[in-house]
Amino acid sequence: MPAITRRKAIASLGIFGASTALAGCDATEGKHFSARANVEKLNADGKPSHVRQWSYVNLDSEAVAADAYRIYPDGGCMYAVFGSVIRALAKRVGEPFISFPFEMMRYGDGGVGGWGSLCGVVNGAAALIGL
C-alpha cells in the first residue's frame, strides 16, 4: 500500500471540498429552492396558493411539562419535548396536529441515535420552531 503524507491528504480534502462547493453553484440565478418557497407561491390574484394551517395558540405550560415527563420513557428527551407540545396542540387546535407523526422524533433518543451528540431538549425545541 503506497504511503500518503499528511500534506497530500489535506490537499486532496481541500480539492474535494472546493469541488463540492463549486458543484452547488449552478445557474439558479439566486432563486431559493425549498419547500417553503413552494408553499408561498402566489396565485394570479396575488393571494397565496396555499395557506398554512399551523397556528399559534397559548398552551398550559404545566400540563405540557407533565405530559413531557409522562412520555419521556417512550422515546427520550427530544420525543418528550416535541411530542408533549404536538399532543397539546392536537387537543387544543385539532388538525394538522392530530395526524402529525411526532413518533419520528424518537431518533433523538440518547443524543441522536444514542451517540450523545446533541441534547434532545434543544433538538426537539428546534424542530418545533421549524414548524
Residues 21-60 pLDDT 10s: 555 555 555 555 554 555 455 556 666 655 556 668 899 9
Nearest CA among 98, 78, 79, 77 for reference residue 88: 98
- Residue 121 falls within a domain, yes or no? yes
- Residue 39 falls within a domain, yes or no? no
- Residue 66 falls within a domain, yes or no? yes
Q: How confident is the model at residue 120 (pLDDT cuts 50, 70, 90)?
A: confident
- Residue 32 falls within a domain, yes or no? no
Domain that holds residue 79: 61-130
Q: Could you give the number of structural domains in the chain?
A: 1
Q: In the predicted model, what is the mean pLDDT of residues 109-130? A: 85
pLDDT of residue 6: 76
pLDDT over 70, % of the chain: 64
The pTM is what? 0.60
Nearest CA among 71, 67, 79, 86 for reference residue 110: 79
